Structure formats: structure tokens, C-alpha cells
Amino acid sequence: MSASLFRVAARGPSSALRAVARPQPVVARAGLAASSSFSTSVRMRSEHKEETFEEFTARYEKEFDGVQDVFELQRNLNNAFAYDLVPSPSVLAAALKAARRVNDFPTAVRIFEGIKAKVENKGQYEQYLAELKPLREELGIELKEDMYPEETA
């Protein structure tokens, strides 16, 4: 037997021998068809359907209503803001209520920073602020720009 095919290893006082075969390359034989029943590529099929904005809104309102701790709140916010859209005011209201429920003031302030980053212009941001102002005042959430005004010098 060839030494390249087997490796002999002795361990311990029992001197048990093990033979380990090295893998040999697969060579196509002339009599076999070149293509086999196995594919080398994977077909990527998505089982998920497209979600409408209304379904997205309902799903995230439900997610924020079920939040029990800060980790869940922040995870849901990261997921909601990861989409290529700005969440509706009702989703943001549910997120703000969840932040209050888990007593996380910094995250509540950061929700407004996320809105500011996601909207296309300042006018849209002002519309969100106007829509959420009663809830913001009720929960005692201040905006970052109110707490730290930019000094113009």
C-alpha cells in the first residue's frame, strides 16, 4: 500500500492503529453523462409576499404594543427604520408609548432624530412634529434641538 493513501498513527500504550484515507478527486468517466441530477447553483426563492404600507403599519403598531423591555424596543425601531420608507405617525406614536412604558427617555428622543434623518426635507419633519406634538407633550419628551439649541456665532 502506498504511503500517500494511508497515514498510520499510534497513540498511547495500546498502540492502536488508525488508517485515514485521503480524498481522491472525482473524475468523470467516459460512459457517464456530464450532467448529474445535482445542481451546483442554488435557486433563491422568496416565500414572502410584498407588504403594503398599511400592512407594515399594522405589523409595527402590534410589535410596539407588545414591547416589554428596552432591547425589544430598540430592535423594533432598528427594523422599522431599516426599510426604505418613513414609518407612519401611528407607528411612531406606538413606539413613543412603548418607550414610556419601558421608561427609556433617551430612545424616545432618538425616535425623533430617526424621523429627521429619514424624511426628505424639513417640511416633512415639521409635519411629523405637528402630528406627534400632543403625544410628545403628554409623555414629556423633548426634542434634541430644544435641549441643545445650535448656537449661531
Whether the model clears a pTM of 0.75, i.e. scores above it, the answer is no
**C-alpha span between 88 and 75 (Å, rounded):** 18
User: Looking at residues 13-35, what average pLDDT do you find?
Assistant: 51
Classify domain 53-144 at the CATH class level. Answer: mainly alpha
**C-alpha span between 65 and 128 (Å, rounded):** 20
pLDDT digits over 55-76, tens only?
Answer: 999 999 999 999 999 999 999 9
In the chain, what are the domain boundaries? 53-144
